Amino acid sequence: MAVEVPMPRLSDTMEQGTVARWVKQEGDQVVAGDVIAEIDTDKATMDLTAYEDGVLLKILVGEGESAELGTPIALIGAEGEEVPETAARGNGPSQAAPREAEAPEERGPEESPPEPARSEPPIPQGAAATAGEVKASPIARRIAADAGLDLRELAGKGSGPDGRIVKVDVERALGKEGEPGRAAAEPAIAERAASPGPPPSGDEEVVDATPMLRAVARRMSESKATVPHFYLDAEIDMGRALELREELNQALADGDDKISVNDLVVRAAALALIENPKFHRSWHDGKLVLHKSAHIGIAVAVDDGLIVPVLRSVEQKSVRELARESSDLVERARAGKLKQPEIEGGTFSVSNLGMFGIPSFSAVVNPPEPGILAVGAAVRRAVVIGDAVQIRPIMAVTLSVDHRATSGAEGARLLASIKRLLEQPVLLLA
Amino acid sequence: MAEVTYREALRRALDEELERDERVFLMGEEIGRFEGSYKVTAGLWAKYGPKRVRETPISEEGFVGAGIGAAMLGLRPVVEIMTINFILVAQDMVVNHAAKIRNMFGGKVGVPMVIRTPGGAGAQLTAQHSQSLEVWFAHTPGLKVVAPSNPRDAYGLLKTAIRDDDPVLFVENLVLYNVTGSIPEPEEDFTLPLGRAHVAREGADLTIVAHSYTVRRALSVADRLARSGFEAEVIDLRSLRPLDVDTVVESVRKTNRVLIAEEGWATFGVGAELAARVGRACFDDLDAPPERVGGAEVPMPYSKPLELAALMLEDKLEAAARSLLAECGLVEAG
């Protein structure tokens, strides 16, 4: 009996994946543990390994094609086994060959002992096909009955297994918000925002957004819609920091990674976060998660997208270590080779557009982080120092803050710490 | 309130009951001079002497039988069986005698005996010494089975068990002995009634039911789920027989979803029992069938990786919880 290979969940946030490449081809032998395909998730390219021994009988989702989580993308079975005619590309999770409606609807729960034999017939298709019969959970039926809702309208379209109507479906149909904070209770904010526009005219073309762009769209829409942002500006005299960087880089061996302005900013931000624990915390449903160590995300522009790898425990690292780690992360980010844990768990982010000559800008908070520092170019400007006018390299920064997690005063203190550390940059080496 | 280990909470309960009632005495292998394999009886032999803290030969059937006889004649024995795995050789004494004597003697004589014994796995003690057999006894009318998950409950329930007029199997857990928590001061004479579950954490989205060490796993999984925005209610059964179904039912009426977790095998287990009871009592409240999760259905392997694969660890429990939530259309928001 052929076994379906479902599109796996390879990152916390992925909803669908794209087959980048089939490593094994139809007819190839596979052993459990073999890499059979490479999958583009919303963030990175990941290996898909086989959990079965056998022969790759059929590829259901071709290279470059996408499928939702759980959708069968290939079949693995015994050599020479006939591929069931019904094996076609599914449109959704758990969708297998449609069968006769009278087939018993048996499905062992995943953990139920003992393991069901592999030789069971394919899971029959949902109730939608069965006329006059609506599959719904008891509580869904009860709520619908109390509200006078006819469940036949939702038949087969529920969120449960095989289209079973569950509580959230009824609540949604009744126009309730459902249970707050749930992906299923309401369409993703990004989807709502992107209402279908007019059909493209002759000089336009519509293409699928990459998984990464979709992830960025979703996260940024959610952030702007749910995180109350406020912004604080500061100007930092980078004269001494630039001198320090120059001196360090001259002293470093040729093979060493050069220290960038951004490395200094990241280090300053980390030390400032540790100095200001009332800023360094995340809002979570009425609770605050206090961060003890500064994990700083650095926004990296990649080909038509954006990814934010995270430097861990920056307060414990020298600028030299930071330079080495950040250039490694940036390089692998551009090559699409970051691993999932490397892009998770940040407690603050730094976004730097100084290299594009942008004098200042403001950035969108990356939840659940409490803030993000937008860094502009260090521009030589006339500034008044004492009673004299001097030309100094001034870097404008803007701190975007989640006002649920912390306050304006705490943000101001954080910025003051960052400014002090960068204007007395020897502290960054302490 | 004093902060003590689970082990110390048990020791204090024994000490206080030995002090309070001279009919109470302890019996078991190496519980005297050696102070017990898990040191639960530390200092008691020195304090109460060999008559009340009795060393026994390695003969579970013999000393459980002796305990039954002593209990029938008016004493209050607390018998320690080194681990629940060794109770099997005394099964006839426990199931055919201790559990049945009150009924078979027309109510004229009972067996006010406590058998204390730890279950649990995780230390590569392999197939014969890694079992959670409490459901065998919870299956048996005439026995009471308690399995506390924390020092306070262990303290209060052991004192109550010793004062109970019927046989009580008091199930501890190897991994729990070093867990700390606060217990009331001796002057309060704190006891807990047998057969009452405890809501260890409140939540609206999913009920997770557990007993003994698995409660701690469930609480940690609840924390993980909370980070995804799902609030799990965790119910600590504390007692398997009597079984507090009402507390579970009340919770499921609120959450509409239930997952029963146990360290032992799920087949014919606590989850099987509760799934049946909840399925009936909460039929119209359920958003998905009751789900259960337990250890892998194999004799426990010795190999560490295989043992880890067989244990009902947090990841397995979390996966079962997320799968149940997903079945109800509740998936993590990106």
- B206-253 residue pLDDT tens: 999 999 999 999 999 999 999 999 999 999 999 999 999 999 999 999
Query: Rounded to a whole number, what is the distance in Å from the CA of A6 to chain B's nearest CA?
Result: 15
How does pLDDT run across B169-185, given as a tens digit for each residue?
999 999 999 999 999 99
Which comes out higher in pLDDT, residue A61 or B27?
A: B27
Q: Is B299 on the interface with A (CB under 8 A)?
A: no
Query: What's the pLDDT score for residue A50?
Result: 84
How is B271-320 classified by DSSP, letter by letter?
HHHHHHHHHHHTGGG-SS--EEEEE-SSPPPSSHHHHHHHS--HHHHHHH
Structural domains of chain A, ranges and CATH numbers in brackets: 1-96+117-123 (2.40.50.100), 129-179 (4.10.320.10), 227-429 (3.30.559.10)
Residues of A labelled catalytic: 403
How is B3-31 classified by DSSP, letter by letter?
EEEHHHHHHHHHHHHHHH-TTEEEEETT-
> Which element (helix H / strand E) includes A391?
strand A388-402
| Rounded mean pLDDT for each run of 10 residues along chain A, 430 residues in total | 82 80 89 86 81 86 86 86 62 41 42 42 40 81 89 86 90 67 43 51 80 84 90 95 92 84 95 96 90 95 88 94 93 86 92 90 94 94 91 95 94 96 92
> Which residues, numbered 297 to 356 in chain A, qualify as contacts with chain B under a Cβ-Cβ cut-off of 8 Å?
none
Q: Is B129 a catalytic residue?
A: yes
Residue % of chain B over a pLDDT of 90? 96
The minimal CB distance from B334 to the residues A164, A169, A219 is found for A219
Cβ partners under 8 Å of residue B96, min gap 6: none
B112 and B160 Cβ atoms separated by less than 8 Å: no
Length in residues, chain B: 334
Q: Give the integer Cα–Cα distance in Å for A122 and A96.
A: 7
Residue to mutate among B252, B278, B313, B328, with most A CBs inside 10 A, is B328
Contact B297 A113 (CB under 8 A): yes
A137 neighbourhood in chain B, CB within 8 Å: 256, 286-288, 328
Q: Is A367 on the interface with B (CB under 8 A)?
A: no
Q: Is A192 on the interface with B (CB under 8 A)?
A: no
Which comes out higher in pLDDT, residue A224 or B27?
A: B27
Query: What's the pLDDT score for residue A339?
Result: 83
How does pLDDT run across B39-84, given as a tens digit for each residue?
999 999 999 999 999 999 999 999 999 999 999 999 999 999 999 9
CB hemisphere CA count around B99 (13 angstroms) = 19
Query: What's the pLDDT score for residue A85?
Result: 62
The minimal CB distance from B256 to the residues A12, A167, A184 is found for A167
Query: What's the pLDDT score for residue B42?
Result: 96
- Here the tokens at position B243 are 């079984």
Structural domains of chain B, ranges and CATH numbers in brackets: 2-188 (3.40.50.970), 198-327 (3.40.50.920)
Residue to mutate among A51, A139, A340, with most B CBs inside 10 A, is A139
CB atoms within 10 A of CB A22: 19
Contact A184 B294 (CB under 8 A): no
Contact A285 B316 (CB under 8 A): no
Which comes out higher in pLDDT, residue B299 or A175?
A: B299
Q: Is A182 on the interface with B (CB under 8 A)?
A: yes
β-pairing verdict for A66-68 and A16-22:
antiparallel
Q: Is B198 a catalytic residue?
A: no
> Which residues, numbered 268 to 297 in chain A, qualify as contacts with chain B under a Cβ-Cβ cut-off of 8 Å?
284-285
Contact A160 B288 (CB under 8 A): yes
Chain B's closest residue to A180, CA to CA, is B229
Query: What's the pLDDT score for residue A426?
Result: 92
- Asked whether the ipTM of the predicted complex exceeds the cut of 0.90, the reply is no
> Which element (helix H / strand E) includes A221?
helix A211-226
Per-chain mean pLDDT for chain B: 96
Q: Is B226 on the interface with A (CB under 8 A)?
A: yes
Q: Give the integer Cα–Cα distance in Å for B29 and B79.
A: 9
Query: What's the pLDDT score for residue A355?
Result: 87
Contact B283 A168 (CB under 8 A): no
Residue A45's nearest CA partner among A248, A258, A188, A211 is A211
B283 neighbourhood in chain A, CB within 8 Å: 138
Q: Give the integer Cα–Cα distance in Å for A214 and A14.
A: 10
Question: Which one from B16, B17, B60, B80 is the annotated catalytic residue?
Answer: B60
Q: Give the integer Cα–Cα distance in Å for B256 and B237.
A: 19
Q: Is B73 on the interface with A (CB under 8 A)?
A: no
